[in-house]
Chain A
Amino acid sequence: MKKFDYHIPKSLEEALSLFKSLENAKYIAGGTDVLVNIKRKKESPSHLISLRNIDSLKVVEKKDGLKIGSCLIHQELLKIEEIRTYYSALYDALTKLGSKQIRNVATIGGNICNAAPSADTACPLLVLDAQVVIFGEKGTRMVPIDDFFEGPGTVAKEESEIVTSFELPSFPKYTGSAYIKHTRREAMDLAMVSAASRITFAAEDQSLLRDFLSSKGVEELDKELKNYPLFVKEARIALGVVAPRPFRAKKAESCLEGKFLNEETLREACEKAAEEAQPRDTIRGEAWYRREMVKVLTKRTILLSVKRAIEMCS
């Protein structure tokens, strides 16, 4: 492995000024991507600036939604009860990322800034309308996550800028979200396809949701949809691996948003999502199969979101 100098700043300002003053520098958080890239000679920075000892990057604020610091490791995030309860899609992703060993060092900021099309936390943050908080020379700015991903490995920030946190809005109670990662293995694997969704129902449907649960339970959900005209106030669907960047399948979303959820609208949404996907043939999976899986995962993640929304109202 090529040699580099390692710097450990204690504040954002110090990190930024180090970056500015050093030649060929790069920020590093958990290092589960950066160090692998260096070993594989995909990049060769002369200086690594660690963000791990900057306390402000590890904040957790639970007011009007949730704010999570970019340098929190995945295993720490898993302990935040609000994520499990209100941001289930993100929770799903945290349980599926890498392995426990990886989750113990890898950070959410690293996962997002690495911007792999398969990044596990990307699709959940997309459906949860996350804002990316970025610190730089000109101060702090916010970017909606949908605008943050530009392409494989590229994000909408200057190299010197540091992603400090992610802000998630609070959603009405009658909201559910989910993330499904389709892999060949149960751990240490990249998604062949991944999908996340969020469904927020209309406030007036709350009693209907409760009825649904008491009458049939959620196990028979897909069959029962026609008997319960649930109105979808807001729908989010995001897909991973099937495009150069994780993206929101907005045509699929519009099949559901402002409509009643039934077998037909659900199928349309899945078909649209498959159309929006641009899967490729790689050694990790064949395009035709990935497109098929977009349909299956979209359906499953929406049903899981609905199920969770219903459970939230019980």
Chain B
Amino acid sequence: MTFNAVGQKIPKKDAPLKVTGQALYIDDLELPGMLYGKILFSKYPHARILNIDTSKAERLPGVKAVVTAKDFPPNFRIGFMKDNPPLKGNKVLSTRDEIAAVCAISPEIAEEACELIDVDYEVLPGVFDPITAMREDAPILHEELGSNVLKLPWKLVCGDVEKGKSESKYIVEDTFTTQWVTHCCMATSGCIAHFDINNNLTLYSNTQIPSLAQNDFLEALNALGLKNRRVRIIQVTIGGAFGSKLDTYPYEYIAILLALKTRKPVKIVFSRDEEFFATSPRQCTITKISQGCTKEGKLTFREVEMILDNGAYTSWGATTPSVMMMPISSLYRVPNVKYEAKCVYTNNTYCQAMRGYGNPQATFAIESSLDHLAEVSGIDPYDLRMINANQPGEITPQGFKITTCGLKECLEEVAKRLNWREKRGKGGGKRGVGMASLIHVGGGARVYKSDGCGTIIKMDDFGKVDVFTGATDIGQGADTVIAQIVAEELGIPVEDVNVIHNDTDVCPWDVGVHASRTTFVAGNSALYAARKIKARLTEIVSKILEIPQEDVEIRNGIAFSKSDPQKSIPVARAIRRAHFTTGGSMLMAEHFYDPNNENLGKDFKGNLSTAYTYGTHGVEVEVDTETGKVKILKYVAAHDIGRAINPLLLEGQIEGGALMGIGFALSERLIYQNGYLKNGNFLDYKILTVRDAVPVETVIIETDEKEGPYGAKGIGEPGLVPSAPAIANAIYDAIGVRIKDLPITPEKILKALKEKAGTGNKA
């Protein structure tokens, strides 16, 4: 099959706007009469609020409103478990708890006013790790719940793990831990709330979930006594999200409340400090894993127990164990699987979705453990992976129907490009190679009642197309990829397709940009809508050219007869003929695409996604054994993505993912001490800089997924999933020590080397 628009390396449509500074972010947006909101956060991680005195703040000239918990209806709660009041009135449970908020005519006055609010606290003992939080004598955060363990029964059982153990010749057991890492979006969180004269709300937002956010805010308006109103979400240019904007947050409800009180637009934008401490990071995990294999290396079982630090409140992030089940049950063929996870409240920051949604934490444990198993069984880690690699057509223990699967090809490519056979185990105590693979949803993921996305499409008199999609562009390239799919289907140039993706008043419903689903789901939705409009168009052309409809072909904006290409008409002219005639018509179509995947059942089984994506990363490292520093010499990332709609953006996703993964593996962590964030700035939070970036050799394996738009599967998240275990495995190959606790810092390596050498550790 040959393509015109699909497969083209087209730069992202809004890239020129971004690099020339013309793209408008929340921070750039000013509305007439707009006020600036600021939130007062808690001074303590756990305390009772005895009194809040806002009188001094209210008297400060320029202050237009001050709000506290009493301004929200009693018992108004937000979040996945409805455990989070947007403003806290009785108790604070973390240092990011919102106590009061002000809005004023300038950000400086708002900030000064916040400092004038006096809060009397009764400090309570806090609990800062999930193990302590589960003890009987631990302080209970949410007293009404009676326990710090969330009532979310994450448990998956497939086959019989005990039987699997009895069939094992080799068994390994290890415990792995991962840290808090944060998204580090270039643009910080923020919104502008604005009510019209009829109390309809417009929220300028950088949310990833416009339709679900609309639903959340409608609920809030209801609670505030504003029944039967409208909520319009307008998304500005979103400067990165990575899962951080996959929920609605207290600051948004506070902005809405302030706007309602003042009848003015109210903007709240986080400072970088606030972005670090008041947004939700990836959850840290403690994972006990054991797996076994036969003498020949066939995996027999995998058993995983996990504890997650939920933080003080519950967002969608508490559902990450449902995604962790995916690699635990279905990465490689393993017949017997058992997985249990507990999410535990602590007085730390509450956690949320972050690219990979739990998969990186789980895969770190699985793939590190697999290398351990390889060592114990004496089988080369690459061979062990090939023996157990997933294959097309299989149904995994969790019930995933694997359609296309390029895992073996990915493994082979990585081994070849790393020169695996020559290098493995031969690095002279300094150099080593390692690999790790991934499975992820690649055809949507039904985590909500619908996994759908709507598209409305119209063609104008000049042959240009407007596509109104439910999809959100958070920088990943939905604007460009959807244009390419529509252009391909209609036979018109990509630049003639305008994608509108930022306004709930005009764009149809979509569940949100998550689960690497946009190219697949929004792409299919756009494709089918384009197909409908194309049917109309070819019908019009067939009448004008007096040829059968099946004979009509459109290329580069010209419609012609396949059998007699002399007969042709520009598409624009054909449309005008249909438009400017008696009983004329316009070309418009719509489609709502909801993939044929399934919600997981009560047993957490079912075909979660319509297609699954695979990949393998391979790394060669050099370890400085005197300092413990790790240098990445080579990084190969092979991914089965079905079809590359836009190889340029695809490589960008993989490279960006891998760099995020390397940071997760080696340097990034939020340091919390007793509930306080200690490194909330870019100097001390060690995200990689461009000077640290290593070239990522991307390998694209096209398996042509039947259900995907032109064969494509999702790729938003996979790029960072296997980075950490691949690096950890390479380090082990180099120096013979396995670091089971992320990030793998020079200190941990040096300490482990000293312990191995028996020279003791001085820590």
The chain A residues found within 8 Å of chain B, CB to CB, are: 1, 99, 182, 184-190, 283-286, 288-289, 291-293, 296
Contact present for A288 and B691 (CB under 8 Å): no
Separation of A1 and B271 alpha carbons in the complex (Å): 12
Separation of A211 and B73 alpha carbons in the complex (Å): 86
The answer to whether the Cβ of B690 comes within 8 Å of any Cβ in the partner chain is yes
Contact present for B678 and A187 (CB under 8 Å): no
Chain B nearest CB from A292 CB (Å) reads 7
Partner of B689, one of A182, A186, A292: A186
Report A-chain residues with C-beta under 8 Å of the C-beta of B603: none
Contact present for A187 and B679 (CB under 8 Å): no
Report B-chain residues with C-beta under 8 Å of the C-beta of A186: 689, 691-692
Chain A nearest CB from B129 CB (Å) reads 17
Separation of A186 and B761 alpha carbons in the complex (Å): 27
Chain A nearest CB from B184 CB (Å) reads 13
SS of A interface (majority): loop
Chain A nearest CB from B188 CB (Å) reads 15
Contact present for B627 and A187 (CB under 8 Å): no
12 further A-B pairs in the complex, CB-CB below 8 A; given A190-B683, A283-B673, A292-B750: A1-B108, A99-B691, A185-B689, A186-B689, A186-B691, A187-B689, A187-B690, A187-B691, A188-B683, A189-B686, A289-B628, A289-B746
Pairs A–B under 8 Å by Cβ, sample size 13:
A1-B108, A185-B688, A185-B689, A187-B690, A283-B671, A283-B673, A283-B678, A283-B679, A286-B747, A288-B762, A289-B628, A289-B746, A296-B626
Contact present for A185 and B684 (CB under 8 Å): no
Separation of A284 and B745 alpha carbons in the complex (Å): 11
Separation of A185 and B666 alpha carbons in the complex (Å): 10
B residues 730-763 touching A (CB-CB < 8 Å): 745-747, 750, 761-763
Separation of A99 and B689 alpha carbons in the complex (Å): 10
Given A185-B689, A185-B691, A187-B691, A284–B762 Cβ distance below 8 Å?
Answer: no
Chain B nearest CB from A45 CB (Å) reads 17
Chain A nearest CB from B90 CB (Å) reads 30
Given A292-B762, A296-B626, A188–B689 Cβ distance below 8 Å?
Answer: yes
The answer to whether the Cβ of B682 comes within 8 Å of any Cβ in the partner chain is yes
Nearest residue (CB) in A for B748 is: A289
Nearest residue (CB) in A for B667 is: A184
Report A-chain residues with C-beta under 8 Å of the C-beta of B761: 288
Partner of A284, one of B627, B667, B684, B746: B684
- Interface size, B (range): 20 to 34
Bits for B687-708, please: 1 = Cβ < 8 Å to A, else 0.
0111110000000000000000
Separation of A113 and B30 alpha carbons in the complex (Å): 40
Separation of A291 and B754 alpha carbons in the complex (Å): 14
Report B-chain residues with C-beta under 8 Å of the C-beta of A283: 671, 673, 678-679, 684
Given A286-B763, A288-B763, A184–B686 Cβ distance below 8 Å?
Answer: yes
Contact present for B683 and A189 (CB under 8 Å): yes
Nearest residue (CB) in B for A99 is: B689
Instruction: List 5 A-B pairs, minimum CB-CB distance, nearest first.
Output: A186-B691, A187-B691, A288-B762, A187-B689, A289-B747
Separation of A1 and B108 alpha carbons in the complex (Å): 7
Separation of A64 and B425 alpha carbons in the complex (Å): 55
Chain B nearest CB from A140 CB (Å) reads 36
Separation of A289 and B684 alpha carbons in the complex (Å): 17
Chain A nearest CB from B611 CB (Å) reads 38
Partner of B627, one of A182, A188, A288: A182
Report A-chain residues with C-beta under 8 Å of the C-beta of B626: 296
Chain B nearest CB from A103 CB (Å) reads 13
Report A-chain residues with C-beta under 8 Å of the C-beta of B750: 289, 292
Nearest residue (CB) in A for B271 is: A39
Nearest residue (CB) in B for A2 is: B108
Separation of A296 and B624 alpha carbons in the complex (Å): 11
From A185, A186, A284, A293, residue with most partner B Cβ within 10 Å = A185
Nearest residue (CB) in B for A295 is: B626
Chain B nearest CB from A242 CB (Å) reads 15
Bits for B370-390, please: 1 = Cβ < 8 Å to A, else 0.
000000000000000000000
Separation of A182 and B624 alpha carbons in the complex (Å): 12
Separation of A189 and B692 alpha carbons in the complex (Å): 11
Chain A nearest CB from B271 CB (Å) reads 9
Contact present for B762 and A293 (CB under 8 Å): no
Contact present for B667 and A185 (CB under 8 Å): yes
Report A-chain residues with C-beta under 8 Å of the C-beta of B671: 283
Separation of A293 and B747 alpha carbons in the complex (Å): 10
Bits for B496-516, please: 1 = Cβ < 8 Å to A, else 0.
000000000000000000000
Contact present for A285 and B747 (CB under 8 Å): yes
Chain A nearest CB from B22 CB (Å) reads 22
B residues 105-123 touching A (CB-CB < 8 Å): 108
B residues 650-700 touching A (CB-CB < 8 Å): 667, 671, 673, 678-679, 682-684, 686, 688-692
Contact present for A293 and B627 (CB under 8 Å): yes
Contact present for B762 and A187 (CB under 8 Å): no
Nearest residue (CB) in A for B689 is: A187
Nearest residue (CB) in B for A296 is: B626
Separation of A238 and B108 alpha carbons in the complex (Å): 44
Separation of A133 and B671 alpha carbons in the complex (Å): 41
Nearest residue (CB) in A for B761 is: A288
Given A185-B686, A286-B747, A296–B627 Cβ distance below 8 Å?
Answer: yes
Chain A nearest CB from B761 CB (Å) reads 8
Report B-chain residues with C-beta under 8 Å of the C-beta of A185: 667, 686, 688-689, 691-692
Chain A nearest CB from B688 CB (Å) reads 7
Partner of A188, one of B673, B682, B745: B682
From A182, A285, A289, residue with most partner B Cβ within 10 Å = A289
B residues 573-611 touching A (CB-CB < 8 Å): none
Chain A nearest CB from B519 CB (Å) reads 33
Report B-chain residues with C-beta under 8 Å of the C-beta of A182: 627
Report A-chain residues with C-beta under 8 Å of the C-beta of B692: 185-187
